[in-house]
């Protein structure tokens, strides 16, 4: 997978930060000594975690060097760690393991989530948010375009179509490991400006890993084909804005 483009990702930074803050708002943890932000990206939320628990040692962990370069802009006293989240192990047990919109990139959730719970202190919290928009036109049309004959052989093996399981799966897995478990779903009605905003949104997240399997000279043609489908599914409103409904799953498990 190619590295991330922080500028493209942050194009809709205000919309992307809302779920992260909503997740943080449901964490009932009066004090903390050790906090990890897994998939910290550019570190914006990591800095807010530090502000909320100023006495804690807060570490932002990400696999993207480009994203971690942007964390230099965050003057927060946070520590940064470059690591593969599939293999990450904390240096010491945590009071809080927090992850906003990262774990859908990882396979093996049946092993991942129990492993993360084992890294918590008694009374520690695992707080996770993952996107659930995979069957919506914004994401389903990526798969539809990849299945076109021109690209199918090269792209279909790399499609990520349903990386987040049904909420019942996570409940059945986490409830035996938790003293309390809070789960909910939210649909955010993002009101976006500009031309082809849904395409621009996905260019900051799900499109780059897939397009990395095509030569660069074919990227524009793929995006054009995808964009025509998306524009029909998300037409501009009379005021020129576009509404992107986006479903997300939230979990806060206390060990």
**Which CATH number fits the domain that encloses residue 165?**
3.40.50.150
Is 22 part of any domain? yes
Separation in Å, CA 202 to CA 5, 61, 162, 194, 224: 12, 23, 16, 14, 13
* pLDDT score at 69: 67
Domain that holds residue 235: 6-254
| 247 and 41 Cβ atoms separated by less than 8 Å | no
Query: 66 in a domain, yes or no?
Result: yes
Structure tokens at 153: 């052989």
Is residue 45 in a domain? yes
Q: Is residue 111 part of a domain?
A: yes
Domain assignment of residue 144, yes or no: yes
- The one-digit pLDDT tens for each residue of the chain (255 residues) are 445 454 444 445 577 789 999 999 999 999 999 999 999 988 889 988 999 999 999 999 998 776 676 565 555 678 889 999 999 999 999 999 999 999 999 999 999 999 999 999 999 999 999 999 999 999 999 999 999 999 999 999 999 889 999 999 999 999 999 999 999 999 999 999 999 999 999 988 889 989 999 999 999 999 999 999 999 999 999 999 999 999 999 999 999
Q: Are 128 and 251 in contact (CB under 8 A)?
A: yes
Q: Is residue 1 part of a domain?
A: no
**Residue the block writes with tokens 């996905």:** 202
Supply the pLDDT for residue 43. Answer: 86
Is residue 222 in a domain?
yes
According to the model, what pLDDT value does residue 76 have? 65
Per-residue model confidence (pLDDT) at position 15: 78
In the chain, the number of structural domains is: 1
**For every residue of 33-68, which 3-state class applies, written as one string?**
CEEEEECCCCCHHHHHHHHHCCCCEEEEEECCHHHH
Residue labelled with tokens 């799966």: 169
Q: Tell whether pTM > 0.85.
A: yes
* pLDDT given at position 8: 46
């Amino acid at each position: 997978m190619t590295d991330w483009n922080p500028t493209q990702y942050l194009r809709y930074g205000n919309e992307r930060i809302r779920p992260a803050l909503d997740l943080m708002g449901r964490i009932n943890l009066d004090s903390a000594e050790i906090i990890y932000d897994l998939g910290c990206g550019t570190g914006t939320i990591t800095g807010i975690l530090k502000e909320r628990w100023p006495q804690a040692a807060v570490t932002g962990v990400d696999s993207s060097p480009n994203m971690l370069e942007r964390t230099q802009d965050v003057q927060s006293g946070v520590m940064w760690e470059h690591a593969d989240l599939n293999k990450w192990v904390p240096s010491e047990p945590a009071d809080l393991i927090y992850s906003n919109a990262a774990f859908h990139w990882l396979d093996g959730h049946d092993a991942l989530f129990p492993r993360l719970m084992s890294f918590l202190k008694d009374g520690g919290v695992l707080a996770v948010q993952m996107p659930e928009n995979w069957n919506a036109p914004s994401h389903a049309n990526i798969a539809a375009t990849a299945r076109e004959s021109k690209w199918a052989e090269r792209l279909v093996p790399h499609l990520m179509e349903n990386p987040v399981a049904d909420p019942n799966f996570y409940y059945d897995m986490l409830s035996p490991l938790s003293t309390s478990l809070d789960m909910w779903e939210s649909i955010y009605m993002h009101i976006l400006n500009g031309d082809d905003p849904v395409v621009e949104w996905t260019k900051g997240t799900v499109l780059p890993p897939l397009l990395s399997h095509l030569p660069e000279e074919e990227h524009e043609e793929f995006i054009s084909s995808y964009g025509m489908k998306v524009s029909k599914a998300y037409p501009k409103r009379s005021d020129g804005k576009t509404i992107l409904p986006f479903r997300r799953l939230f979990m806060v498990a206390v060990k």
